Amino acid sequence: MKMNIHGKALLFICAAGVSTSLLLGSMFFLGLKEAENLLDRQVVTLAGNITQEAENFAEDEVRKRMESVILQKAYYVEIFMQELEGDVAILAKSMTNLTQENSAASTYRIYDPRQENVRSGQLYFLAGASGGSPSPKALQSASIGDVMHRLAKSYEAAPMLFYIGSKDGWSLRMDFMSNPDELMVLPAEALTPAYDTRDRYWYKLGKEAVGKDVAEIIPIYASLGGETLLACVMPYEDADGFAGVVGISIAPVVLQQEIKKEVLTEDNISFLINPQGQIVLSSAKEGTFAPNRPDFDLRKTDNQALSQAAEDMIAGNNNSKRVQVDGEDCYLVYAHVGDKGWSYGELVKLEEVRSDAQFIGLSTKKELQELQGIAAPLLEKIRIYLFCAMGILLVVLFWVSWRWAKNFTRPFTELAEGMRRVAGGHFDEKIHISTGDEIEKLADSFNAMTDDLNVYMQELSEAQAKKAQTAAGLDVAIGIQKGLLPKAFPKSEKFSLFARMEPAKEVGGDFYDFYYLGKNRLVLTMASVDSSSHDMGKGIPAALFMAVAKNILRNCLNTNRGKNPAAALQQAMERLAEENVEKLSVNAFVGILDTGTGELSYANTSPTPALLCHGEDIEELAKREDVGELKQGRAVLAHGNVLFLYTDNVWSHSGADGSYLDLAWFQKTMAPIAAESAENITLTMEAAMKSYRQKSGQEGDIALMVLRWNG
């Protein structure tokens, strides 16, 4: 039976409806499947890209931090070497003075290890080729032992060796060990005529420096049981010219402990190389960077990148390079030490740097997998809805179904596009979907994930900044400041001396110093670092400038031989002003006390005067004038006089009533304790000042020094 027009039309409409439903359903299911696959791909891509971005960011932050820390450590090593060179210069000058004076033999005892035991800190004689007892020149030079003892007190390292090598072949030595009662065990050869000091490597190098007026720093290998020592040598003269070589050798314990600080991890390798490419000091015990290898030159290693870096280090450059050591990728960061080819470097493994960044990548992947967990049941539910809708939408036109499908899948497209933008590094990306259903919840979860990523990146940046701030923080400045202060106070029946320094929260660079120039001339220094800029006058810049100022003041006074403290102080101020781009300056009081007569000559560039107490009377010694040449003052101390030195921050604190410390307060506080020892006076005055400034707090460093004259 043939179908009529109504049946054909109905069949056509039904066929069209079924075809449309099948086509529409296929489009929906394919779209959902593609969205699910796209989410899977973006999880992997996004996690990998974020991990890579975080690793690059962490590597750059660590490199910047390490460059800053390395510069500080290299400067510390340079200051240490300068102080060692200065002490050797003092030793050489003392020997020159002793050999050029026509004085009788010294009463200082010289031990002969061929006949008696020698202990730590005792001066002993090695006859060498002469084979006899100490020569007249050796006996005349014996008082050099006093100089060796004074110089040794400024170091905490042991062993520490002092030695004098004469052009006649004999030598005077004094060794300081960690145990002061330790017996010296010398090689058998050293006690025979075959041991000639003129054949020693250090003697030959010191002799080559004649006329240069500079000390030479060298490594001495296998000196004490195979241990490498850092040695500094310099020639000295007698009336005929070159007379021999003096030297100081010191164990690298102090430097090794210092350069181990502020490392990223314990696996870091820190090392110091000399102009010959030898690794003189190293935190590594074995491997490429092991020390104590005189025949090893880092420039000649088979590792081309490491060899080129060593060449760059010795050339005096500061840089950072990526190298491969023992199959591991590392950062090598280095900075020059002085201008003689020494360089300090640190090696950090990139695996350690990347650990935090990899944690972010794992966290991101976990977040995305949670998003997948939300999306999976949602997609399954959508499939069920579409299957049911196919029967209902048979009569819906294709174009309506197509538009509806397009509108329905738009949120997933936007979500995938947002993931691609986030994978490109745009962590501020947000998706705005307001459907009111699970799709909006999925978009909200995605937005929460981008917020978490921003927080993670910010926390990573803050963590790296905190590490850099810690490496360059005030602990380093305080360590430098306290490490440069003298530890032992001189003992004398004619006077007592005591000093205290209390650093502020922001180290200001205040310091004190005291030492002997000759036998009866005691130098007293009280100084503070000042700057027109508040930031430059605090922290590490002030502490490092303090170290330079202390060294220059000592050198100027040694050059002047203490004859004119005003001229020496003026010269030091001029040297500190040269090329001083930070505009830092030093306010200093320098006095030289004749411990035999009590005569005090002094000069002062500080705006506050030193105080001399005569019982209940207080005399203000000269303070800095605004114009004119720096003047030298003179005072003669009488029995019971108290000399009180302090930095200018003492007067900058107010009490509970708002008033400031003044001379009347000082006189009232000092009167009851003027007859006590220097230590009791110092501690009592310090406690009184702390009590007075409880309201205002301590704004700067405070240094005090008290000398009570009992002569």
* pLDDT reading at 237 higher than 80: yes
| pTM exceeds 0.75 for this model | no
pLDDT category at 43 given cuts 50, 70, 90 is low
Which residue is it, tokens 């100089």? 147
- At 258 the pLDDT is 56
Lowest average pLDDT, out of 16-20, 164-168, 359-363, goes to 359-363
Which residues is 334 bridged to in the sheet?
Answer: 319, 345
**pLDDT of 22 strictly over 80:** no
- 357 or 133: which leads in pLDDT: 133
pLDDT at residue number 270: 84
Class of residue 487 by CB neighbours under 10 A (exposed 0-12, middle 13-18, buried 19+): exposed
* Domain end marker among 471, 506, 521: 471
- In a domain, residue 416? The reply is yes
SS3 annotation, 562-603: CCCHHHHHHHHHHHHHCCCCCCEEEEEEEEEEECCCCEEEEE
Whether pLDDT at 635 is above 70: yes
- The rounded distance, in Å, linking the Cα atoms of 163 and 175 is 8
Task: Give dist(CA 528, CA 548) in Å, integer.
Answer: 12
CB-facing half-sphere around the CA of 595: CA atoms within 13 A: 20
Is residue 531 located within the same domain as residue 676? Answer: yes
pLDDT tens for 272-314 read 898 988 888 887 888 888 887 888 898 988 888 889 899 999 9
Mean pLDDT of 175-190: 87
Coil, helix or strand at residue 271 = strand
Residue 64 lies in a domain: no
State pLDDT tens for residues 536-546.
556 777 778 88
Domain identity same for 345 and 488: no
What is the 8-class DSSP label of residue 188? G
In a 13 Å sphere around the CA of 278, the CA atoms on its Cβ side amount to 14
The contacts of residue 94 (CB under 8 Å, 6+ apart) are 144, 147
DSSP 535: T
The neighbouring-strand residues paired with 220 are: 229
Cα(686)–Cα(166) distance, rounded to whole angstroms?
50
Q: Give the pLDDT score at 595.
A: 94
Would you give the DSSP letter of residue 183? B
- Please tell me the predicted confidence (pLDDT) of residue 689: 87
pLDDT (average), residues 32-57: 66
321 and 378 in a single domain? The answer is no
Backbone angles phi, psi at 579, to 5 degrees: 50, 35
- The whole-number average pLDDT for the span 345-371 is 68
Question: For residue range 105-152, what is the model confidence (pLDDT) as tens digits?
Answer: 677 899 999 899 999 999 999 988 777 888 888 888 888 999 999 998
Structure-model confidence comparison of residues 165 and 105, the more confident one: 165
The pLDDT, as a whole number, for residue 610 is 93
Cβ-based neighbours of 373, under 8 Å, separated by 6 or more: none
Task: Please give the biggest Cα pair distance in the chain.
Answer: 151
Cα 435 from chain centroid (whole Å)? 58
The encoded tokens of residue 413 equal 């497209």
What's the rounded mean pLDDT across residues 525-545? 74
Residue 473, pLDDT > 60, answer no
Q: Are residues 323 and 186 in the same domain?
A: no
Asked whether residue 476 carries a pLDDT value surpassing 70, the answer given is no
- Residue 76 located in a structural domain: no
**Mean pLDDT for the chain?**
81
Q: Confidence class of residue 50 from pLDDT cuts 50, 70 and 90?
A: low
CA-based nearest residue to 471, from 263, 256, 254: 263
**Per-residue pLDDT averaged across 52-66, rounded?**
69
- As given in the structure block, the two tokens for residue 152 are 């040794």
651: CATH: 3.60.40.10
| Band of residue 710 on the pLDDT scale cut at 50, 70, 90 | very high
Structure tokens at 231: 């040695």
Q: Which amino acid is at 527?
A: A
Is residue 70 in some structural domain?
Answer: no
Total residue count of the chain as it appears in this document:
711
Helix-then-strand count for the chain, H and E: 14, 21
Average pLDDT score over residue span 72-83: 85
Residue of 161, 183, 158 lying closest to 172 (CA atoms): 161
Segment 388-413 shows an average pLDDT of 69
For residues 22-48, average pLDDT: 70
User: 224 pairs with which residues across the strands?
Assistant: 227
Residue 172 has pLDDT above 80, yes or no: yes
Sign of CA dihedral 673, 675, 676, 679: positive
Q: What are phi and psi of 619, to 5 degrees?
A: -110, 130
Comparing 147-161, 476-490, 511-525, which segment has the lowest mean pLDDT?
476-490
User: CB count, 10 Å around CB of 56?
Assistant: 12
Torsion of CA 571, 572, 578, 579, to 10 degrees: 170
Report which of 283, 285, 272, 265 is spatially closest to residue 348, judged by C-alpha positions. Answer: 265
Residues 228 and 287 in one domain: no
Residue 155: pLDDT band (50, 70, 90) is confident
Q: Both tokens of residue 204?
A: 């030959």
Structure tokens given for 523? 């130098």
Structural domain contains residue 229: yes
Looking at the fold, whether 155 and 38 belong to one and the same domain comes out as no
Residue where a domain stops, chosen among 211, 229, 254? 254
Q: Give yes or no for residue 405 having a pLDDT over 70.
A: no
The verdict on 440 and 491 lying in the same domain is no
DSSP result, 42-64: HHHHHHHHHHHHHHHHHHHHHHH
Asked whether the predicted pLDDT for residue 242 surpasses 80, the reply is: yes
Instruction: Evaluate if residue 363 carries a pLDDT over 80.
Output: no
**CA separation for the pair 413, 422 (Å, rounded):** 14
* Residue entry with tokens 């030695």: 163
Verify that 115 and 101 share a domain, yes or no: yes
- pLDDT tens, 445-454? 777 777 777 7
Amino acid letter, residue 594:
D
pLDDT at 658 exceeding the cut of 80: no
The amino acid occupying position 557 is: L
How far is residue 500 from each of residues 514, 607, 645, 650, 678, measured CA to CA in Å?
Answer: 12, 20, 11, 13, 11
697 and 621 within one domain: yes
Predicted confidence (pLDDT) at residue 33 exceeds the cutoff of 80: no
SS (H, E, C) 614-652: ECCEEEECCCCCCCCCCCCEEEECCCCCEEEEECHHHHH
Considering only residues 595 and 653, tell me which one the structure prediction assigns the higher pLDDT. Answer: 595
Paired tokens of 403:
């538009």
Who's near 592: CB < 8 A, 6+ residues apart?
517, 521, 522, 523, 524, 557, 562, 565, 600, 601, 602
What pLDDT shows up at residue 663?
85
The average pLDDT across 522-527 equals: 95
Query: Is residue 67 a part of any domain in this protein?
Result: no
Q: What average pLDDT does this structure show over 413-439?
A: 75
Nearest to 166 by CA among 211, 221, 209, 129: 129
Whether residue 158 is contained in a domain is answered as: yes
Q: In the prediction, which pLDDT does 21 show?
A: 67
Q: 617-620 and 611-614 as β-strands: parallel, antiparallel, unpaired?
A: antiparallel
Same domain, 539 and 660: yes
Count of structural domains, the chain: 4
Last residue of a domain, one of 295, 329, 352: 352
The residue with greater pLDDT, 127 or 525, is 525
Higher pLDDT, 556 or 443: 556
Q: How far apart are CA 501 and CA 686, in angstroms?
A: 10
Q: The tokens of 685 are what?
A: 């005055």
Averaged over 142-166, what is the pLDDT? 88
Give the integer Cα–Cα distance in Å for 320 and 60: 11
Mean pLDDT of all residues in 262-270: 64
Q: What's the domain range around 426?
A: 5-58+359-471
Tell whether 211 and 285 lie within a shared domain: no
CB 290 within 8 A of CB 322: no
Say whether the peptide bond before residue 490 is cis (omega within 30 degrees of 0).
Answer: no
The per-residue DSSP string of 401-444 comes to: HHHHHHHHHHHHHHHHHHHHHHHTT-TT-------SSHHHHHHH
User: Can you state the angle between helices 5-100 and 350-392, rounded to 10 degrees?
Assistant: 170
The half-sphere exposure of 91 on its side-chain side, counting CA atoms within 13 A, is 33
Model confidence at 253: pLDDT above 80: no
Measured between alpha carbons, how far is 240 from 228 in angstroms, rounded to an integer?
Answer: 35
Looking at the predicted structure, is the pLDDT value of residue 470 above 60?
A: no
10/41 same-domain check: yes
Domain harbouring 146, CATH code: 3.30.450.20
Q: Is 65 among the domain residues?
A: no
Mean pLDDT of 202-211: 88
